[in-house]
């Protein structure tokens, strides 16, 4: 009788578990104890992918070509003797597909600001594999540490408008683990909000008082001034 098989080990021997489209990945399946021949079967989500027979104590190597999203997911392998109906299963490996990010959008709740005001900027790529790392710029100068978002959420920074030089062009960039896939946002500019003059409320108040006096005088003419004029005749 053959020696009892141990649970096989499924390991990555070539490529990466985070893959891009059309990439090859090689997985090795091997039971350290057992007597050949051994049959190894690779499964993805409990569906059989491939079967290899080994007549010696060497691992079964399965090479996968990631040609569509259906090629990614959880993989396991099974080791068994041909003479038995049972078998032992390995650990699982999760192959995930890396997608490029879309151009990030830089925005703010307000487009106008004045000196001494706090404002916010938000940067978001709506598509692409997580996590995504964001970085903010004013011109070509970095104005924040990198912000890595694990969820599909915008990276937000807070700014204090201290001088006219803070009204330059802002941008952000985004990248993820997809190779050579850094994207820059649109440019965003705050415009200077017109500040009211301190004398403006006073002028408005004086104008209203003058208008009330004129209106009052016009109303008083029929009741007071005309009777007095007639009485003096």
Query: How far is C-alpha 180 from the chain's CA centre?
Result: 17
Q: How does residue 222 score in pLDDT terms, banded at 50, 70 and 90? A: confident
Please indicate, yes or no, whether the overall pTM of this predicted structure exceeds 0.85.
no
pLDDT at 220 over 80: no
Output DSSP code: residue 150.
S
Q: What is the DSSP letter of 19?
A: E
Distance CA 182, CA 6 (A): 46
- The answer to whether residue 2 is domain-embedded is no
Assigned domain for 223 exists: no
Residue 120 located in a structural domain? yes
**Domains identified in the chain, total number:** 2
Residue 216's pLDDT band, with cuts at 50, 70 and 90, is: confident
- Are 166 and 126 members of one domain? yes
Do 80 and 126 belong together in one domain?
no
- pLDDT tens for 22-34 read 999 999 999 998 8
DSSP structural state of residue 109: S
- SS3 assignment, position 73: strand
CATH number at residue 15: 2.60.40.10
Give the tens place of pLDDT for each residue, 70-103: 999 999 999 999 766 679 999 999 999 999 999 9
- pLDDT at position 119 is 94
Residue at 201 is within a domain? no
Confidence check: pLDDT of 67 > 60? yes
Over the stretch 140-156, which tens digit does the pLDDT of each residue have?
A: 999 999 999 999 999 99
Domain span holding position 44: 8-97
| Residue 138 covered by a domain | yes
Examine residue 68 and state whether it is found in any structural domain, yes or no. Answer: yes
In the three-class reduction of DSSP (H, G, I as helix; E, B as strand; rest coil), residue 91 is classed as coil
Are 25 and 50 in contact, with CB atoms under 8 Å apart?
Answer: no
Assigned domain for 202 exists? no
User: Would residue 157 count as lying in a domain?
Assistant: yes
């Amino acid at each position: 009788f053959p020696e009892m098989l141990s649970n096989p080990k499924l390991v990555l021997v070539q490529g990466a578990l985070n893959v891009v489209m059309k990439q090859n990945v090689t997985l090795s399946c091997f039971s350290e104890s057992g007597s050949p021949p051994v049959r190894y079967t690779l499964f993805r989500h409990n569906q059989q992918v491939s079967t290899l027979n080994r007549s010696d104590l060497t691992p079964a190597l399965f090479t996968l070509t990631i040609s569509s999203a259906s090629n990614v997911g959880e993989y396991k392998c099974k080791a068994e003797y041909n003479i038995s109906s049972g078998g032992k299963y390995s650990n699982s490996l999760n192959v995930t597909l890396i997608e490029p990010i879309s151009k990030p959008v830089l925005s703010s709740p307000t487009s106008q600001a004045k000196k001494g005001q706090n404002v916010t900027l938000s940067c978001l790529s709506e598509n692409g594999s997580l996590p995504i790392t964001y970085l903010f710029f004013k011109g070509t100068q970095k104005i924040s540490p990198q912000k890595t978002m694990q969820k599909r959420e915008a990276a937000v920074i807070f700014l204090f408008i201290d001088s006219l030089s803070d009204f330059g062009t802002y941008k952000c960039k985004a990248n993820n683990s997809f190779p050579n896939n850094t994207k820059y946002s649109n440019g965003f500019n705050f415009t200077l909000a017109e500040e009211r003059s301190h004398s403006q409320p006073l002028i408005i108040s004086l104008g209203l008082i003058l208008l009330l006096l004129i209106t009052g005088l016009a109303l008083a003419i029929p009741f007071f001034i005309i009777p007095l004029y007639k009485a003096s005749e």
